[in-house]
Amino acid sequence: MFFYGVKTTGIFCRSSCKSKTPVRDNVTFFDKAAEAIELGFRPCKRCRPDQLVFEPDLELIKKAKDIFDTDYNKQIDLSQISKQLGLSINHLIRLFKQHSGLTPTRYIAKRRVEKAAELLNQTDINILEISYTTGFKSLSNFYKCFKEETGHTPNEYRKSRGG
């Protein structure tokens, strides 16, 4: 692999970068990223030549997980998130499952159940309120997801934990 620096912008890229092809006269080639940095070139934000391993898919999945972990209690619109990440909804679902082993919907449900279990353990909030607080649209959906994830109904879970 080699790197190239663009003299007019002061940025260097991996040979595989998808950025616009620069004018040949403005390009300098390097065997190592360190050479480009030493000469004052900044790393491209698209191809990240300064990182040993560049996996743009992992960056996108991390961003998606951050959104899901923060907004688990809200109604999450995957089409909006996929647009925000610059992906089609099908590509987001495929990448997410490939890297996490779960679909985004399953990941969000799992996160909601984790938070609900925490609330069942640590508070006396009624189950209906917990279901809505954690983002479930209906009590029946909450019970179904909770039992799938923990093997217990919310009532059984609370009683078994002394809550």
C-beta separation of 2 from 31 below 8 A: yes
According to DSSP, the residues that pair with 43 across neighbouring strands are 12
Mean pLDDT of the chain: 91
The confidence score (pLDDT) of residue 38 equals 93
Rounded CA Rg of the chain: 23
pLDDT-based confidence at residue 54 (cuts at 50, 70, 90): low
Q: What is the pLDDT of residue 68?
A: 96
Among residues 33, 130, 127, 128, the alpha carbon closest in space to that of 73 is found at: 130
Listed by start position, the domains of the chain span 3-43, 56-105, 111-160
- Distance in angstroms (rounded) separating the CA atoms of residues 151 and 12: 53
Of 43-52, 61-70, 125-134, 152-161, the poorest mean pLDDT is in: 43-52
Helix axis angle, 78-85 to 56-71, nearest 10°: 140
Same fold yes or no, 56-105 and 111-160: yes
Q: What is the per-residue pLDDT for 25?
A: 92
- DSSP result, 41-55: PEEPTTT-TTSSS--
| Cβ-contact 89, 78 below 8 angstroms | yes
Give the homologous superfamily in CATH for domain 111-160. Answer: Homeodomain-like (1.10.10.60)
Q: Where are the alpha helices (DSSP H) in 32-138?
A: 33-38, 56-71, 78-85, 89-100, 104-122, 127-133
C-alpha span between 118 and 121 (Å, rounded): 5
Please check whether the domain covering 56-105 is classified as CATH 3.30.420: no
Question: Any catalytic annotation for residue 44?
Answer: no
CB 147 within 8 A of CB 108: no
Q: What is the pLDDT of residues 127-142, one digit of tens each?
A: 999 999 999 999 999 9
- Specify the CATH class of 3-43 in words: alpha beta
